[in-house]
Structure 1
């Protein structure tokens, strides 16, 4: 009897360790923010987010307000860094590296990098990737390189080449960019995507389609196929990550008017950005069975 109870206990222990405790931390974008840091952080926390993803404020006063608000509402922060393509390569690499050092001094949950340029050579883009990866290793702060139009990672085939040649390269997959670049939902590229999914450590949860990087409203029935395609890809990534790490991070990143389609003349957005992002968080939680 005692042996049977012990075996039952061990079975339950193994089952629990393999299936419980896995979670997703959700970050809200401040893209389009028009309210104070305090008001934005309160709204974000009240909505059930774990943190915010933002460009670092340049004004010292805004930096202090941000720091106070993050602590007050118990929110994590993920910062965005980017390659400045409007200045020389040498100047841009120096600025990129120095700014990463500033961001890591805040001990963020992660840094999302808009890295390099689609007009740079492989070696030039690699210099930015290497600089980021070195800082990440030295500080133990994850730095993810976003799949983004205009960057080294603007399409699937080129990104795969970088991944094959740079083992330390980790991605933030915003596959909405690739949907429009490749003018498809990439349904014929599942084998190619498998390699990408295994190197993805963070997600931007925005739904794109063959003719644009953002559907007007993810709840609209005409976008059901696109939404489900993104969810299928995201679920594979999350479950792959959960095999070695119980926590995954996602930023809901539907953009404001201008990125979101607007009505002609009035420029009124055709949907609600905040509502779209909340919908994506709720949908992913339901899909992944997260409380």
Structure 2
């Protein structure tokens, strides 16, 4: 055996893993949450700022749907659709209503469908029914259906999400960990043993930064939030570098007021939502270089 054989093998393994990661494509999506621009202006701005696509709810009117479809084609942008359980309806009605909306979305052939699934007021079995129905429809269409970790949904907490993952091993998640930061009232670190069990199921990220008392810090550039931003970046990097997906998707999702704090009486936002999302996209890109 050559003297430096072990060292050579190690180098080849490292080069191989670096090469594999280099082949992975990261797509960034901008949210239309809070957008007040006409669709064409919004999509033009998204494209100009370096995003690959948008994440949106299905528009309510045929005219708005047409504007979205034309704009996506005009600017060469991809789309992830949001979908959700109407937990304002009785359970059986909500389950029935979930299906036609998802069917319409799947016909658009989006990159993914991000679902706000179930309710924290329903049983594990009731929420499980939505996963079964949704997965069957999405698998038939060949489009990933990912379920967002979100307050008021089945995934409102880490323990409940773990319980569902044990019952539904094929569960695919959108990690918006900002919700869990406030639900569990602490900055959950990347080495958390419960979180470690969740991370392999994550196929999409909502990159909003939360903290122990809220789901959104006011400005990710402010030095007082450096620790919170670092904790989130560490988790997101770990997910992306561990992912076996050839294409990994991230939506920057700092939201408008009231998620974005405002000045009392004037209701003026104290920071810029678009700037926050652009900043966090650049921070993630820098982290992955």
Q: Name the TM-score, length of structure 2 as normaliser.
A: 0.93
1:72 equivalent to 2:74? Answer yes
Kept after mapping to 1: 8 A contact 2:190/2:234: no
CA distance in 1, matches of 2:170, 2:24: 24
Mapping 1:92-171, distance limit 5 Å: 92-171=94-173
Kept after mapping to 2: 8 A contact 1:203/1:250: yes
Structure 1: stretches of 5+ with no match in the other structure? 1-6
Residue 16 of structure 1 deviates from its aligned partner by 7.0
How many residue pairs were aligned?
278
Spell out, residue by residue over 1:73-105, the C-alpha distance to the aligned partner (whole angstroms, 9 max, x if none): 000000000111111211111111110000000
Residue 257 of structure 1 deviates from its aligned partner by 1.7
Partner of 1:228: 230
CA distance in 1, matches of 2:173, 2:209: 17
CA distance in 1, matches of 2:125, 2:135: 15
Residue 189 of structure 1 deviates from its aligned partner by 6.4
* Secondary structure of residue in 2 paired with 1:20: helix
1:199 equivalent to 2:201? Answer yes
* Secondary structure of residue in 2 paired with 1:211: coil
Partner of 1:245: 245
Kept after mapping to 2: 8 A contact 1:146/1:153: yes
1:21 equivalent to 2:4? Answer no
Partner of 2:5: none
CA distance in 2, matches of 1:45, 1:160: 37
Residue 19 of structure 1 deviates from its aligned partner by 4.2
Partner of 2:276: 276
Residue 35 of structure 1 deviates from its aligned partner by 1.1
Kept after mapping to 2: 8 A contact 1:133/1:168: no
Q: Return closer, same or farther for 1:15/1:184 CA change in 2, 3 Å cut-off.
A: closer
Kept after mapping to 2: 8 A contact 1:23/1:247: yes
CA distance in 2, matches of 1:189, 1:109: 30
Partner of 1:3: none
CA distance in 2, matches of 1:59, 1:188: 42
CA distance in 2, matches of 1:267, 1:177: 24
Residue 245 of structure 1 deviates from its aligned partner by 2.1
Q: Name the TM-score, length of structure 1 as normaliser.
A: 0.92
**Alpha-carbon RMSD:** 1.7
Spell out, residue by residue over 1:180-230, the C-alpha distance to the aligned partner (whole angstroms, 9 max, x if none): 000001239611111111110000000000000000000000000000000
* Secondary structure of residue in 1 paired with 2:122: coil
Residue 135 of structure 1 deviates from its aligned partner by 1.1
Spell out, residue by residue over 1:124-160, the C-alpha distance to the aligned partner (whole angstroms, 9 max, x if none): 1001111111111111101100000000000000100
Partner of 1:216: 218
CA distance in 2, matches of 1:281, 1:210: 22
CA distance in 1, matches of 2:49, 2:221: 18
Residue 23 of structure 1 deviates from its aligned partner by 2.5
Residue 15 of structure 1 deviates from its aligned partner by 6.7
CA distance in 1, matches of 2:266, 2:249: 36
CA distance in 2, matches of 1:203, 1:19: 17
Residue 20 of structure 1 deviates from its aligned partner by 2.3
Structure 2: stretches of 5+ with no match in the other structure? 1-7
